[in-house]
Amino acid sequence: MDLDLWTSAPETAYLLWQSAEATGADRRAFAEQSIVQHCSMFARFHHYLMAHRTTVASFGADHIDGFFSALEHDCQPGTTTRLRYLKLIDRLSRHLVAHELRSDNPAGRMLAREHWPEDEPIPVYLPADEDARLQAVCAARHFESFKDLRNTAIVALFLGSGITAAELRELTSDDLDTGSARMSVFVKKHGPRIARRVPVDPFAVDVLWMYHGARTEMPCPTNWLFVATAGGKPMKADTLGSCVRTALRLAGAAADDESPRLLRNTYGRRHLSEGKTNEQVSALLGLSSHRTATRLRDTLEQADFGPGLIECALPK
């Protein structure tokens, strides 16, 4: 690898290093998904350095502190984001020092004072009975309007595939495969998450098949799977949240965080309870780290959440 790239094109240099040379603590090469996530994180750090007129060869502890101060606006307290970035910057600095492109490693001293949070926030999720009632709300039936069908399909896809709100907004009609033996949704690369195809859980298939047919027949100038208007505008984040809250009321369910994240965590927890490994669930969720799956599995040990669905009817 041409070391001059660290000066002329640091993000290209970082990608080449991650792909060809870098290893984790176990001395094994990083998986593709980890490399994508690391590159996304490095790009954010590098953009901060450029905005503050410094480089990967010259940044100091003050720049790292400033970067973390800026990062706090996007991160919830008690999460491991700061530590993950610090470990990435430490590994980068050690590599550059080893190749005499830096003289010191300010991240190393800072990392020695850090530790994993002992009380990470408990992930929000629906217990088994509320999950089952919400699945019942997502059943195919007669809908009064296209909007009602669309909103139900949105909730069904969140709960039946575990995708994020940002990922759902980027879906096109072609991304939902309704013609194969097992319905699935293709999720494009988004941020640190690599592209993946996720099977749709059986309870969501009928309403999504119904919606996809209606959407295909709808004259529209865009190809978004879910549109906010007849003009083809994509869905807004607050509208997606409203769909989730309305469905929760119909299911007689409630949570502290009634957002698409609630349904994503519920999806992951359900699949863990049905026997999937942390690695399998992390892959379904598009995550390179198993930390979310581990935290969701911890909640299973505190409640009776047996495999399979609980049969129930819609609340009257």
257 domain-assigned: yes
Q: Which domain holds residue 240?
A: 128-300
- Give me the helix-helix angle, 260-273 and 237-251, nearest 10°: 60
Same domain, 183 and 295: yes
For residues 202 and 235, membership in a common domain is answered with yes
Q: Quick check: 115 pLDDT over 80?
A: no
Confidence of residue 117 (pLDDT cuts 50, 70, 90): low
CATH number for position 277: 1.10.443.10
Q: Residue 104: what pLDDT?
A: 93
Name the nearest CA neighbour of 150 among 273, 24, 263, 235.
235
Q: Establish if 106 belongs to a structural domain.
A: yes
The domain that contains 86 carries what CATH number? 1.10.150.130
Q: Is residue 309 part of a domain?
A: no
What is the side-by-side order of every strand in the sheet holding 196-199?
Answer: 176-177, 184-187, 196-199
Count of structural domains within the chain: 2
Q: Is the pLDDT of residue 44 over 80?
A: yes
- Tell whether 165 and 59 lie within a shared domain: no
155 and 290 inside one domain: yes
Q: Are residues 272 and 182 in the same domain?
A: yes
Residue 90 has pLDDT above 80, yes or no: yes
Model-wide pTM > 0.85? no
Mean pLDDT of the chain: 88
What does each C-alpha distance from 98 to 21, 103, 133, 135, 260 come to in angstroms?
13, 9, 57, 55, 44
Mean pLDDT within 258-281: 95
Query: Looking at the structure, do residues 142 and 225 belong to the same domain, yes or no?
Result: yes
Please state which of the ranges 115-119, 139-143, 224-228, 234-238 shows the lowest mean pLDDT.
115-119
Final residue in a domain of this structure, among 111, 140, 164: 111
Q: Does the residue 313 lie in any domain?
A: no
> How far does the chain reach from its first CA to its final CA, in angstroms?
66
pLDDT in tens, 291-307: 889 889 988 865 543 43
Question: Does 254 score more than 50 pLDDT?
Answer: yes
Mean predicted confidence (pLDDT) in 56-77: 85
Can you tell me the mean pLDDT for 184-203? 89
Residues 36 and 144 in one domain: no
